[in-house]
Amino acid sequence: MAQKDDTKTAAEKFGKMMKTFGDTLGEIFDDPDLRKKAKEFAQSAVDAAAKVADSKIKKDEVKARFRTVGKAAQDLGKSLEDNFKPKAS
């Protein structure tokens, strides 16, 4: 049961992160449709993660998948930060 709860919690956090990311991009690009699609994607991600928790996939595999997603999010954040940091004059 702990695996299912851990996966559900991770999926919910991922879903919130994706919704926030989509909302922010929607604001940047002034695109309400983008925000709507991000919300739909976030819910889809939570639903998919719940299915993974119910499947036969081993706990370690689920954790590894979420670590991969986390690393990708960190890499994206670092890349965006580096790209948009103020230029030294």
- 43 lies in a domain? yes
- 25 lies in a domain? yes
What's residue 54's pLDDT?
65
- 88 lies in a domain? no
CB 50 within 8 A of CB 8: yes
Q: Spell out the residues 6+ positions from residue 3 whose beta carbon is closer than 8 angstroms to its own.
A: 53, 59, 62
- Residue 28: both structure tokens together: 């940047």
Q: How confident is the model at residue 4 (pLDDT cuts 50, 70, 90)?
A: low
- 26 lies in a domain? yes
Average pLDDT of span 55-65: 74
Torsion of CA 44, 48, 69, 2, to 10 degrees: 130
In one-letter notation, the amino acid at residue 76 is L
- Cα separation of 23 and 74, whole Å? 18
Q: Taking the model in full, what pTM does it have?
A: 0.56
Provide the domain count of the chain. Answer: 1
Domain range for residue 79? 2-83
- 89 lies in a domain? no
